[in-house]
Amino acid sequence: MTGATEPTVTYKRVLLKISGEALMGDQGFGLHPPTVQRIANEVKSVHDLGVEICMVIGGGNIFRGLQGSAQGMERTTADYMGMLATVMNALAMQAALESLGVFTRVISAIPMDQVCEPYIRRRAVRHLEKKRVCIFAAGTGNPYFTTDTAATLRANEMGCEAIFKGTKVDGVYDKDPKKHADAKRYDHVTYDEVLQKHLGVMDASAIALARDNSLPIVVFSLDEPGGFRGILSGRGTYTIVKD
């Protein structure tokens, strides 16, 4: 049965990318359960529109591979530790979503059968078709690749129509709006402008992969209540990255 609002939805299948830091609230580390629950409520509100949703969550609130490497740890080991942190975040988000009655699957690029499913593309697509939220964990399963790149890869593999990048600000600015009152927000920016101007939307590999597959990236504020749902319904403030 189709809801009355469904025909107005801009995209039918999307990937939501959020950082691990988004889950720690005002804490300096770890998970803040009320913040996780708030984000889960945002995801549910979009799921209720009939949109098929998959997610990629970073691990920086627990461990960041690049920082570990910078402090003398061998880079490959540090990156694998970062991947395991993303699995922990994915399980926390799954618990929050399922407490709201949203069927969710955590799918890991590193097999760990006791806690989540291994990544099998056709099975993941089938979950989406059955209106389950899929949370892709452990990045690409390879060191030296960020969760931004993993998000773009999975969005392409799942046939998503856009990536939604939830951040602390309501779009892409020419400089940090929290430090500069005259910062200018872009309504639209191209992939090449993001790379040339170092706008920091995602890392260069992720932007190049999105550009090569004409996959739009919508940058919006995750802190604005109803922002995710509003954009999908044709409202709200955001920046779209596309050609």
Residue 124 lies in a domain: yes
Residue 171 lies in a domain: no
Residue 22 lies in a domain: yes
Residue-level pLDDT at 1: 41
Tens digit of each residue's pLDDT (9 = 90 or more) over 210-240: 999 999 999 999 999 999 999 998 888 999 9
Q: What is the CATH number of the domain that holds 104?
A: 3.40.1160.10
Residue-level pLDDT at 126: 98
Residue 234 lies in a domain: no
Residue 178 lies in a domain: no
What is the extent of the structural domain holding 19?
6-164+198-210+223-229
Number of domains comprising the chain:
1
Nearest Cα residue to 53 out of 130, 150, 152: 130
Tens digit of each residue's pLDDT (9 = 90 or more) over 73-101: 899 999 999 999 999 999 999 999 999 99
Residue 182 lies in a domain: no
Residue 77 lies in a domain: yes
**Residue 194: helix, strand or coil by DSSP?**
helix
Find the radius of gyration of the CA atoms of the chain: 17
Nearest Cα residue to 55 out of 133, 109, 156: 133
Q: Is there a contact between 210 and 163 (Cβ–Cβ < 8 Å)?
A: yes
Residue 39 lies in a domain: yes
Whole-prediction pTM: 0.93
* Residue 114 CB-density burial (10 A; 0-12 exposed, 13-18 middle, 19+ buried): exposed
* Residue 176 CB-density burial (10 A; 0-12 exposed, 13-18 middle, 19+ buried): exposed
